[in-house]
């Protein structure tokens, strides 16, 4: 016999929609092609033993999106809005990263230096958005529209109006494979990044303070929390996120193209936050929801490609599915589910009383 109380609790959980969507995708692909999730071991062009398969492609391909979705979740929570310039900021960070690499002999210390310098530059640009939002109370989407428009031309200017390439087997440490490790390095970086972010949010009061400001800024201020400082901290974290995403993408393809690098990823990052059950109006958040949302978007993309859907039609199909998920996760539909759960729960209680 079903436990209606448990079912009610599950349907009201923030993770109910993303987990349900992920389950549907898994079942659909298992029915369509049982080998969809098979993993093989092969040799790549460099002679390294690596893991391949659709599942690896999903986990690997979503790496940049997962990192940006984490940053977008925190921004959404504390500012009650979204930063639509993360793709442009990642292009700037990636351009700085490439400039450092091309100016030196590529070694692991130089790669780390490039990431660090790119991070500092990205943080400056993200703090520009943060200042407009925190100090001048400009709506986040409007404030970030400036960098959204100017960011990619700035990235183009950083490398002298060119789209330079970089070549080194060491780039695999960020965007390919580490020799002797069959798992793509972006997957490992994402795991490490998630662990560090969770430690930062759980082992300090930062996560609590971010949510407090997002829920009620005035009440947070009365309790000694500085809303301006908290917003600035979040944009510093966002600067780190865009740098990691930009640097990883450069290492994947071996060049920086300001026009195409992580194009439209800001929209996917916002959708990942929404699909993950987080309110786009700020307040409480659950990073695990946004992370699952990012993987759902990538899984949907890989599924459509596996079904031989043309690249031009993929976005249309994705839009239809995402609209359905967002509507199902909307407050109105959630209230309907709650009423249904309350009804059946009340019925069960009455039956038990008899």
Domain with 220, as residue range(s), is: 4-353
Q: What gap in Å lies between CA 243 and CA 237, rounded to an integer?
A: 10
In the prediction, which pLDDT does 351 show? Answer: 54
Task: Look at residues 15, 10, 16, 18 and name the one whose alpha carbon lies nearest to residue 275.
Answer: 18
In this prediction, the residues of the chain whose per-residue pLDDT falls under 70 are 1-13, 341, 343-354
In the prediction, which pLDDT does 7 show? Answer: 45
In the prediction, which pLDDT does 1 show? Answer: 41
Number of domains in the chain: 1
State residue 292 phi and psi, 5-degree precision.
Answer: -60, -40
| CATH number for the domain that contains residue 170 | 1.10.3470
Who's near 153: CB < 8 A, 6+ residues apart? 258
In the prediction, which pLDDT does 345 show? Answer: 63
Q: What gap in Å lies between CA 241 and CA 145, rounded to an integer?
A: 19
Task: Look at residues 158, 64, 171 and name the one whose alpha carbon lies nearest to residue 111.
Answer: 171
In the prediction, which pLDDT does 331 show? Answer: 74
The answer to pTM > 0.85 is: yes
State residue 224 phi and psi, 5-degree precision.
Answer: 90, 10
Q: What gap in Å lies between CA 200 and CA 22, rounded to an integer?
A: 27
State residue 50 phi and psi, 5-degree precision.
Answer: -135, 160
């Amino acid at each position: 016999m079903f436990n209606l109380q448990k079912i009610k609790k599950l349907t009201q959980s923030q993770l109910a929609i993303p987990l349900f969507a992920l389950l549907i995708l898994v079942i659909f692909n298992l029915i369509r092609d049982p080998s969809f999730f098979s993993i093989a071991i092969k040799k790549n062009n460099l002679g390294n033993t690596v893991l391949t398969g659709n599942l690896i492609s999903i986990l690997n391909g979503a790496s940049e999106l997962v990192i940006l979705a984490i940053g977008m979740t925190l921004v959404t929570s504390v500012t009650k809005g979204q930063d639509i310039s993360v793709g442009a900021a990642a292009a700037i960070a990636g351009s700085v990263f490439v400039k450092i690499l091309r100016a030196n002999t590529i070694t692991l210390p130089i790669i780390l230096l490039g990431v660090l310098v790119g991070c500092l530059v990205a943080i400056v640009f993200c703090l520009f958005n943060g200042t407009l939002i925190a100090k001048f109370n400009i709506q986040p989407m409007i404030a970030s529209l400036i960098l959204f428009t100017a960011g990619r031309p700035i990235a183009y200017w950083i490398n002298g109006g060119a789209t330079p390439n970089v070549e080194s087997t060491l780039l695999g440490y960020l965007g390919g494979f580490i020799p002797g490790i069959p798992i793509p390095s972006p997957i490992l970086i994402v795991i490490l990044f998630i662990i560090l972010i969770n430690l930062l949010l759980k082992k300090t009061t930062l996560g609590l303070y971010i949510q407090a400001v997002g829920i009620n800024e005035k009440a947070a201020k009365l309790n000694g929390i500085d809303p301006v400082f908290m917003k600035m901290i979040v944009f510093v974290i966002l600067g780190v996120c865009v740098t990691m995403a930009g640097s990883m993408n450069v290492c994947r393809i071996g060049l920086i193209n300001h026009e195409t690098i992580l194009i439209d990823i800001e929209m996917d990052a916002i959708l990942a936050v929404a699909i993950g059950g987080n309110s786009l109006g700020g307040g409480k958040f659950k990073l695990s929801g946004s992370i699952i949302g990012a993987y759902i978007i990538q899984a949907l993309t890989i599924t459509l490609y596996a079904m031989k859907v043309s690249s031009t039609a993929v976005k249309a199909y994705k839009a239809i599915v995402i609209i359905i998920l967002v509507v199902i996760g909307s407050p109105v539909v959630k209230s309907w589910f709650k009423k249904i759960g309350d009804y059946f729960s009340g019925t069960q209680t009455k039956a038990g009383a008899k």
